[in-house]
């Protein structure tokens, strides 16, 4: 039996760094300390939906081919494209993300990551208003109120609450006893089972988050009276308790989930929430509210950092003549307006995640999929190129949900000598260089 290894887990954006891997032999190992998502990540290596060979679509069927033929076909498609789009990258390393941006630059493409439709929205909006983000360590050490808004922590990031709610911190020595949990959602999800007697559950009516935020803004800013009937399905007394926590706590953190990103009838609830936080932070001299956007994929935050440091822009990146140009288009509008002739999808299931009308348009143009598992996108792709699993079969840098960099480790070799994402993109770029693609 080999020596035990303590490794980071790429099962989700929490990137737990206390997972122990006990290697029995070349193909068997025990995983200690991982949640169900973490275990599933490790089990992906031998899963039935693992992609182990490249495929090319022939006569409307995916046919297994050798690597040379798959790469040759890939280069041919890219060379014939005048308006390619590249999308995904949230389950790849930062090194891969940088290589992908360089590929987009070389082929005059449009590139964006999964975070553009979730995590990146909060980061950009909060930055404009001067609202601070917060690290996991700070949450553990300082926070006395933890708010989950439109976010089911127990099922999305299973070990999050055990770290931030139940652990003791430097300034919260009594841990759970002194910390308050507030959950705001449209239904009682699994996270509600964690609530204690002093915690607060707010069941808001569907698409009424913005109504709740509006009344909170009015109360906090203008000291108006609460309506007797409450608002958004929440009674007056619960709203009173909520306001008391917002205005009198020392260190509040709001975990923002996907449920708050949908535009509602009266506007954008995320923008209104950030306005509310700004009002409270200016009013409350003894405490502060910070925000964290919860993305599920393990490196959604990474693309934001890599793109900003490399070209000075983190979303909706368009190249022309190998130079960055300004565009009002985003990945959805690019597809919706059919402003592309080829898509390169890396490490994500775009077909299943996008609205059906968008996915249908995406399939009308050739698709090159780079991934390690079968998905909805796999079954409609024209070329499928398999890659190693980062954090298990290859190493690389990733950014945790709180924007702290974590180095992922390689534990074992990939099957069939499959390249990792960075190596594959590097090979494609090298082949394009030899073919002088899109030369100016």
Identical fold at 51-114+299-401+410-435 and 119-293? no
Mean pLDDT value across the chain? 90
Burial class (CB in 10 A: 0-12, 13-18, 19+), 93: buried
Average pLDDT of span 130-139: 81
pTM of the model: 0.90
Q: How many CA atoms lie within 13 A of 139 on its CB side?
A: 26
Q: What is the pLDDT of residues 91-102, one digit of tens each?
A: 999 999 999 999
Average pLDDT over residues 223-241: 88
364-385 pLDDT tens trace: 999 999 999 999 999 999 999 9
Query: 139 with 254: CB under 8 angstroms?
Result: no
pLDDT in tens, 332-345: 999 999 999 999 99
Tokens (6 digits) for 104: 């987009």
Model pLDDT for residues 46-60, shown as the tens digit of each residue: 899 999 999 999 999
Rounded CA separation 318/95 (Å): 20
Fold adopted by 51-114+299-401+410-435: Rossmann fold (3.40.50)
Tell me the chain's radius of gyration from C-alpha atoms: 23
Please state the domain extents for the chain.
5-41, 51-114+299-401+410-435, 119-293
CATH topology of domain 119-293: Dimethylsulfoxide Reductase; domain 2 (3.40.228)
Tokens representing 250 are: 């020392």
Given a contact cutoff of 8 angstroms between Cβ atoms, the answer to whether 124 and 160 are in contact is: no
For the ranges 75-79, 114-118, 384-388, 422-426, which has the lowest average pLDDT?
A: 114-118
Q: Give the 3-state secondary structure of residue 397.
A: strand
């Amino acid at each position: 039996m080999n020596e035990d290894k303590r490794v980071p887990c790429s099962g989700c954006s929490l990137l737990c760094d206390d997972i122990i891997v006990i290697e029995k032999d070349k193909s068997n190992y025990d995983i200690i300390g991982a949640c169900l998502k973490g275990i599933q990540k490790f089990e992906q290596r031998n899963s039935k939906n693992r992609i182990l060979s490249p495929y090319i679509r022939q006569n409307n069927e995916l046919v297994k081919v050798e690597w040379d033929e798959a790469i040759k076909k890939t280069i041919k498609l890219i060379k014939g494209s005048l308006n390619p789009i590249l999308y995904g990258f949230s389950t790849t390393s930062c090194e891969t993300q940088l290589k992908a941006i360089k590929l987009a630059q070389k082929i005059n493409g449009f590139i964006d990551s999964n975070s553009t439709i979730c995590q990146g929205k909060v980061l950009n909006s909060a930055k404009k208003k001067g609202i601070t983000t917060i690290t996991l360590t700070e949450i553990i050490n300082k926070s006395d109120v933890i708010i989950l808004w439109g976010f089911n922590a127990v099922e999305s990031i299973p070990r999050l609450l055990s770290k931030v709610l139940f652990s003791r911190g430097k300034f919260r020595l009594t841990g759970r006893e002194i910390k308050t949990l507030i959950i705001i959602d449209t239904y009682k999800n699994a996270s509600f089972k964690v609530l204690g007697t002093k915690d607060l559950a707010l069941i808001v009516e569907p698409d009424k988050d913005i109504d709740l935020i509006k009344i909170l803004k009015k109360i906090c800013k203008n000291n108006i009276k609460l309506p007797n009937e409450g608002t958004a399905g929440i009674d007056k007394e619960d709203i009173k308790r909520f306001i008391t926590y917002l205005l009198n706590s020392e260190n509040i953190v709001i975990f923002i989930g996907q449920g708050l990103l949908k535009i509602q009838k009266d506007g954008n609830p995320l923008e209104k929430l950030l306005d509310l936080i700004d009002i409270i932070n200016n009013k409350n001299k003894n405490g502060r509210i910070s925000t964290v956007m919860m993305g599920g994929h393990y490196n959604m935050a990474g693309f934001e950092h890599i793109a900003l440091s490399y070209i000075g822009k983190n979303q909706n990146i368009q190249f022309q003549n190998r130079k960055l140009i300004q565009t009002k288009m985003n990945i959805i509008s690019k597809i919706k307006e059919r402003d592309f002739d080829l898509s390169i999808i890396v490490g994500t299931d775009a077909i299943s995640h996008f609205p059906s009308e968008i996915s249908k348009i995406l399939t009308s143009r050739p698709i090159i999929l780079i991934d390690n598992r079968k998905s909805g996108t796999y079954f409609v792709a024209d070329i499928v190129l398999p890659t190693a699993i980062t954090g298990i079969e290859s190493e690389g840098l990733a950014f945790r949900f709180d924007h702290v960099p974590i180095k992922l480790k390689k534990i074992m070799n990939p099957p069939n000598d499959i390249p990792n994402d960075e190596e594959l993109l590097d090979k494609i770029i090298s082949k394009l260089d030899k073919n002088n693609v899109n030369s100016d």
